Structure 1
Amino acid sequence: MSKVTLRRKKIGKGRISLFLDIYPPVPNPDTGILTRKHYLRIYIFEKPRNELERLHNKETIELAETVRARRQLEVQSLRFGFLSNRMMNGDFIRFFEDQKERRTGSNLENWRMAIAYFKSFAGDKVLFPQLNETFSEEYADYLLSAPGIGRNSRPISRNTAVSYFAKYKATLKVAFKKGFIPVNLGEIIDSISVKDTHREFLFQDEIQQLVNTSCKSDVVKRASLFSILTGLRFSDINTLTWSELKGSAGNYSIQFLVDKTGSAEFLPISDQAYNLLGQPKEGKVFVGLKYHHVDTTLPEWIKEAGINKHVTFHCFRHTFATLQLLFGTDIVTLSKLLGHKDIKTTMIYVKIVDKLKRDASHRIKLTVEGDLVSKKYLRAE
Structure 2
Amino acid sequence: MMKITIFSRIKKFAADARKKSKDITLGEFTRSYADERHKEGEKMYEGRCGSILSMLKHLETFGGSNIPLKKVDVETVKQFIDYLRSAHDLHKNMKAPRKLSDSTIHLKVNILKSVLREAVRRGLLDENPFDLLPHSYRVKAQYRERTALTQEELIKLSETPCNTPELKEAFLLSCITGLRKSDILSLSIHDIEKCDDTYYIYKKMKKTQRWLRLPLPEEAHHILSKLHAKNGDTPYFFAHLSPHHLGEHLEVWLEDCCISDKHITFHSGRHTCATLLLTQGTDLYTIMRYLGHQNINTTQRYAHITNQMLSSATHLLNYQLKGLAAC
Q: TM-score, normalised by structure 1?
A: 0.46
* Residue 356 of structure 1: how far off its partner (Å): 4.1
Return the alpha-carbon distance in structure 2 between the equivalents of residues 80 and 176 of structure 1.
22
User: Where in structure 1 are there 5+ consecutive unaligned residues?
Assistant: 1-77, 82-101, 105-161, 181-191, 367-375
1:216 aligned to 2:163? yes
Deviation of the 1:301 alpha carbon: 0.8
Indicate how the Cα distance of structure 1 residues 329 and 238 shifts in structure 2: closer, same or farther if over 3 A, else same. same
Residue 359 of structure 1: how far off its partner (Å): 3.5
- Work out whether residues 227 and 316 of structure 1, in 8 Å CA contact, stay in contact via their aligned partners in 2: yes
Q: How many residues align?
A: 208
Once the two structures are TM-superposed, the CA of residue 300 in structure 1 deviates from its matched residue by 1.1
Aligned 1:81-100 pairs, distance under 5 A: none
Deviations 1:121-140 (A, max 9, x none): xxxxxxxxxxxxxxxxxxxx
What per-residue deviation string (whole Å, max 9, x for no partner) do you get for residues 232-278 of structure 1? 01111111111111127951111123568876542221121011122
The corresponding residue for 1:290 is 242
Q: CA deviation at 1:223?
A: 0.2
Cα distance in 1 for partners of 2:250, 2:164 equals 9
Task: Say if 1:230 and 1:320, in contact at 8 Å, map to a contact too.
Answer: yes
Indicate the residue corresponding to 1:379 in structure 2.
Answer: 325
Match of 1:268 among 203, 211, 215: 215
Q: Given that residues 238 and 289 in structure 1 are in contact (C-alpha distance below 8 angstroms), is that contact kept between their aligned partners in structure 2?
A: yes
Alignment of 1:112-191 (within 5 A): 169-174=111-116
Alpha-carbon distance between aligned partners in 2 of 1:193 and 1:227, rounded to the nearest angstrom: 29
- Secondary structure in 1 aligned to 2:166? helix
Q: How far off is 1:166 after superposition?
A: 8.0
Tell me the CA shift for residue 230 of structure 1. 0.3
Q: Secondary structure at the match of 1:253?
A: strand
Give the TM-score normalised by the residue count of structure 2.
0.53
Deviation string 1:18-59 (CA, Å, 9 cap, x unpaired) is: xxxxxxxxxxxxxxxxxxxxxxxxxxxxxxxxxxxxxxxxxx
Unaligned runs of 5+ in 2: 1-37, 42-71, 75-103, 123-138
CA shift for structure 1 position 339: 1.2
Deviations 1:304-332 (A, max 9, x none): 11213221101110000011011111111
Of 170, 189, 200, which aligns to 2:147? Answer: 200
Equivalent residue for 1:299, pick from 241, 248, 251: 251
Is the 8 Å Cα contact of residues 146 and 271 (structure 2) preserved in structure 1? Answer: yes
**Structure with greater helix percent:** 2
Provide the rounded CA distance (Å) in 2 between the counterparts of 1:172 and 1:289. Answer: 32
Asked whether the equivalents of residues 250 and 270 of structure 1 are also in contact (C-alpha less than 8 Å), the reply is no
Distance 1:316 1:246 in 2: 23
The answer to whether the Cα contact below 8 Å between 1:201 and 1:319 also exists between their aligned partners in 2 is yes
Question: Per the alignment, do residues 196 and 230 of structure 1 end up closer, same or farther by CA in structure 2, a change over 3 Å counting?
Answer: same
CA contact (8 A) 1:219 1:287 kept: no
1:145-166 CA deviation, whole Å, 9 max, x = no partner? xxxxxxxxxxxxxxxxx9x988
**Counterpart-to-counterpart distance in 1, 2:164 and 2:196:** 27
Match of 1:243 in 2: 190
- Structure with greater strand percent: 1
Higher RCO by CA contacts (8 Å cutoff, separation 6 or greater): 2
Shift of 1:169: 3.3
Amino acid at match of 1:358: L
Judged with a 3 Å threshold, the aligned counterparts in structure 2 of structure 1 residues 197 and 168 are, in CA distance, closer, same or farther, namely same
**1:303 alignment partner AA:** E
Structure 1 residues 201, 103: CA separation in 2 closer, same or farther (over 3 Å shift)?
Answer: same
Partner of residue 257, structure 1: 204
